[in-house]
Structure 1
């Protein structure tokens, strides 16, 4: 019988123990010699006092970029996992977790992925069970000095969990399956003696964990006490209230995407908006009084500026969730299928389906914001459809009512330019919230008379958004492209929601023409090989471009009953863009054609004869058609499948549109 082979691995040197080559940069080499190596040597010393002192020092030093990179180069993560986090000294262990927390905060997401692969979750579970959530010695029975140590450890662990949760969905899934950690987080929220800062960190962690996480949302709702606890916390105040709203919104959103729905009564965003609006108003007042820097002595979590950003972010997300719920209730929006060969009146109806006139009485009464409960319920019956469950309809009607009537005015207040000037982060988040609200309302079909009351309110708000938020930015001729893009998106949504019936100041429509020309200098997606999984993102880049949004605004402003001169100016502008094919980008061509189809969809429009026919738009479009066909063939379906599909559709519809206009004219 042969001998078993000798295990040669024992004779191999430990690769992690190999000495690290010093950096070639003289400055980094000096830092390594003077700061990094000595403190790492102390961290692994047999002297407990040295280890503890070194761990505390490193926790502070790693915030410096150069030092942090050098520590990572010297494999500090391995030292922490193998030695420091399991040290006999509690002070050393706590400092070690502080180092790990700071590394995760400062480094990119891939660092957290690396920690996850190094089984950091097992170490976290051990810390929770043995120290923080110990059954042998509860925190409340420890001396004050030891309680402070435990809370320091808790803060580091919870913050680390938040960083891990924000890094990767696989990590979120793994954490969600660890009942020890989920119980630990809710235990902190229910523990009266837990410091407020710790509870705030626990809420931030739960917000990260519950985003797009159906399994965890269902698990939390099954624990009735947890959901009730979150509802109670959202009625508190400050950061804790807003953060609780964020967690609840994530849970409600996940439950709404479940076809089986939820049995939790009143579980909808409708219960969150009053608190969010109250917080927005209070935080905005405090921020305005304190100037652009809203901290004024508050912590990063509790500063009015931070609270205001969070409230706006959650409001924006609620608007998007509501839009998705409305679309789900009514069925997916019917896609425009072009101009068929049916009778003229049927084709005309198809073209103008989304361009029905607003109720005249609604326009005249737009300043009256009052709605009875019966009117609200009637509105939502039409918006949501008759096949919805009564309780579900009630939830969505309350959310829509509060989003338009209560939240929108508060967001306008923050989004408009002011002397006190909110921080750029707050301004950006306010514009995002306003954008989402406007696009949600633009998805509602106001052609039914049952919606006149809701339409009245929105008509006044739409003009207010234009006057207080959009016009000031247009008049400033801002060079900030990000701001211009955000404002143009809002303008497009507002115009869509009221079918272009906006009172303009002077030549504001020309501002969007100028913005379009300015947008041509902005870089566009490069023509380079794109993996299939990235193709959709590339399409998003095309259709979210500033130029496309400018065309969208102009097209809505030119709709009937726009003045003939304004319509002619916009029509000529669009035709000029089309004549520039192939230099004109494909996404611009698609949007320009779609706007033309809508603008000149009916011969009864006042500008049809004096603009479309007198300016020979039909001849121009006939010349454009072969150019569009040729352009379509140049678009690679693998790189931009959506762009190619929409160009093909636009080409088909252009041919049908020309045929329709000729039959309408009788030529």
Structure 2
């Protein structure tokens, strides 16, 4: 029980590509109202979207982006005037420049507005337009890649056309990525044209040197999102010519050398001109090549299973150990406290908000030097988060056992009115043995992950919260919402990777691995870190259910998974404080998922039965767990039964007689047998076969445990 291994992210769980959830912005402004100056410009801007003059239409598309950027209240005003439908209509405009700006406006709206706004785009018919544009982009990319012409030999008109098509390719690719992550319906729409999408994305990656960083990164983001637990698209990608060789080559490419080469070319192109302010201060670096490489590495691990036929041409184990793991490892030592301090300094230096006015030079991606630096810091945090997602998969060493076929027995063949004692008499004489240890299989060895790379310590450091990790619980938004959104995601991913690593260690030890690997886990340090996170995330109980605080609860639940892992691997090294034990008890009602509640219960059981536990500690936990039994059902019922049996399985423990015997635990368990059986039989074996099987096993162990403990009295 409690083994909740984090796998590839399902679309509903991903925090990207929503840059900043609406609620993080405080409704747009602290009072939830749009900027009056922006509101005045709304109608004139919308009117120009239908202007006969293409320059007006182009300007209007760009103006929309500036008016709604990171301002949910103003964005909703525009939505109420059907801005999404108007912009989608502009995707079929006769002028390329208008199409580019309209696609850019939709891209930025979707990134800021998130899943709900992307769903609106889908419902208003964006897919047919994107399909047409993808065909147009693919043809132009073919021409660019086939032409043996240097960019500096092109005419001004040809250069402008190429800029338009590259900008359009980036915008459309990002919209595909957003649609893939929005919901099952939008993902299905992308999958319906999976072959064409895969071909275009691979084509972009193959021609990355000619097409530029922006569109290459967008293609990598789309591929990574589309290959996560999405077999239809994965199959299409694997059947795309040159897909795997292109991805492997990009994963192996030295991003640092390529970035240096690009900087040299840019400097040469500018000649003696003074560099832009943002280019002079490379405190973080552009980071797009690095992020692209990490995304491609993640895509390869998404689509290539070790030992599969596809793996014959890739060698994913060797690629992971020689290329992917070193790449990920190089990103794990970022000092988040320093990042938060720097973000605070940059935010203080931001220029006052400049409300756009009419002007032919308005651009929808204009950023000040300070904004560029903030964006680069945000990209760096995102890169680390994606690297942690990849590491989570590397650390996921458990292979699920195949489910046995279950007989469709008739639950009604036994009378519901059978009493406790009769049911106990019908039970087996001894609790069943634990099932076989799960198969452990990792592409990297545990001594490498635990010892050479010191992952437990480094992941714990990345999981530690900062003052900017969650949105404030009051009315004011975060100091810098994009950083807050990125940090909370990073903490979650670090905890998920640590959880998987601890699970793999626990399973390896159960399977007979060298016990010395447990010594490589800094149990006390992880325990302290985890409970610092649980305390900080859960200090305001009302915040756990507040809109905009969803990541607070997710991080807390992931931290509980790590607490469970440490308690299973190194319980003998733990000396939990009474306040920590009470924290586990208090947090249970606030948890959203049964899996998280089960982790908390299993952790308490491990603490109550750890070597050297005092009688008083055992009594406090044991009595509390037993008190849950009358109201527990389904997953929690199974967890409670397993916890009680695990704690008191050994009648020779010092705490058994003063707690289990003196406290009348056996009588309480015996009197619950009929009720437990009735609750187990309510679990539909067709809808929840795994839960039903575990519940039946727990019930059988309960009756056997009662019989066994009674036999000890004789």
Residues 222-280 of structure 1: per-residue CA shift (max 9 Å, x gap): 54541233223465383432442233223223211774351145424433232223223
Q: Which has the higher contact order (CA 8 A, sep 6+)?
A: 2
Match of 2:216 in 1: 199
Shift of 1:552: 1.9
Contact 1:280-1:410 at 8 Å conserved across structures: yes
Q: Does 1:495 align with 2:567?
A: yes
Q: Does 1:626 align with 2:695?
A: no
- Closer/same/farther in 2, CA of residues 96 and 129 from structure 1, 3 Å limit: same
Match of 1:274 in 2: 326
Match of 2:490 in 1: 429
SS at match of 1:615: coil
Shift of 1:448: 5.9
d(CA) in 1 for partners of 2:404, 2:61: 62
* Rg (Cα) greater in structure: 1
Contact 1:625-1:654 at 8 Å conserved across structures: yes
RMSD: 4.4
**Partner residue of 1:575 out of 626, 629, 636:** 626
d(CA) in 2 for partners of 1:100, 1:186: 23
Contact 2:560-2:599 at 8 Å conserved across structures: yes
Instruction: Give the TM-score normalised by the residue count of structure 1.
Output: 0.71
Q: Does 1:253 align with 2:263?
A: no
TM alignment of 1:58-97, pairs within 5 A: 58=64, 60=66, 64-72=74-82, 75-77=85-87, 79-82=89-92, 84=93, 87=94, 89-97=95-103
TM alignment of 1:4-15, pairs within 5 A: none
d(CA) in 1 for partners of 2:449, 2:371: 30
- Closer/same/farther in 2, CA of residues 283 and 202 from structure 1, 3 Å limit: farther
Shift of 1:508: 2.7
SS at match of 1:605: coil
Match of 1:612 in 2: 660
Instruction: Give the TM-score normalised by the residue count of structure 2.
Output: 0.67
d(CA) in 2 for partners of 1:475, 1:656: 42
SS at match of 2:399: helix
d(CA) in 2 for partners of 1:229, 1:600: 56
Residues 30-56 of structure 1: per-residue CA shift (max 9 Å, x gap): 999986776566544544444444444
Contact 2:179-2:187 at 8 Å conserved across structures: no
Q: Unpaired segments of 5 or more residues in structure 2? A: 1-32, 260-286, 348-368, 406-423, 470-482, 545-552
d(CA) in 1 for partners of 2:520, 2:623: 34
Match of 1:537 in 2: none
Residues 525-574 of structure 1: per-residue CA shift (max 9 Å, x gap): xxxxxxxxxxxxxxxx652354x433221111112424241222211222
d(CA) in 2 for partners of 1:74, 1:494: 49
Match of 2:607 in 1: 557
d(CA) in 1 for partners of 2:675, 2:605: 22
- Closer/same/farther in 2, CA of residues 318 and 554 from structure 1, 3 Å limit: same
Shift of 1:595: 0.8
Residues 161-203 of structure 1: per-residue CA shift (max 9 Å, x gap): 3223323332332453016512442145233xx4434433332
SS at match of 1:256: coil
d(CA) in 1 for partners of 2:636, 2:243: 51
Contact 2:224-2:295 at 8 Å conserved across structures: yes
Q: Does 1:166 align with 2:249?
A: no
Q: Does 1:465 align with 2:471?
A: no
Q: Does 1:350 align with 2:433?
A: yes
Match of 1:409 in 2: 457
Shift of 1:657: 1.4
d(CA) in 2 for partners of 1:31, 1:199: 37
d(CA) in 2 for partners of 1:646, 1:353: 14
SS at match of 2:304: helix
Contact 1:293-1:305 at 8 Å conserved across structures: no
Match of 1:128 in 2: 137
d(CA) in 1 for partners of 2:511, 2:127: 59
d(CA) in 1 for partners of 2:606, 2:404: 19
Match of 1:152 in 2: 167
d(CA) in 1 for partners of 2:649, 2:680: 24
d(CA) in 2 for partners of 1:170, 1:612: 55
d(CA) in 1 for partners of 2:133, 2:450: 41
Match of 1:231 in 2: 251
Q: Does 1:214 align with 2:275?
A: no
Q: Unpaired segments of 5 or more residues in structure 1? A: 1-26, 355-381, 385-392, 525-540
**Partner residue of 1:315 out of 355, 371, 388:** 388
TM alignment of 1:92-107, pairs within 5 A: 92-105=98-111, 106=113
d(CA) in 1 for partners of 2:292, 2:61: 32
Contact 2:605-2:643 at 8 Å conserved across structures: yes
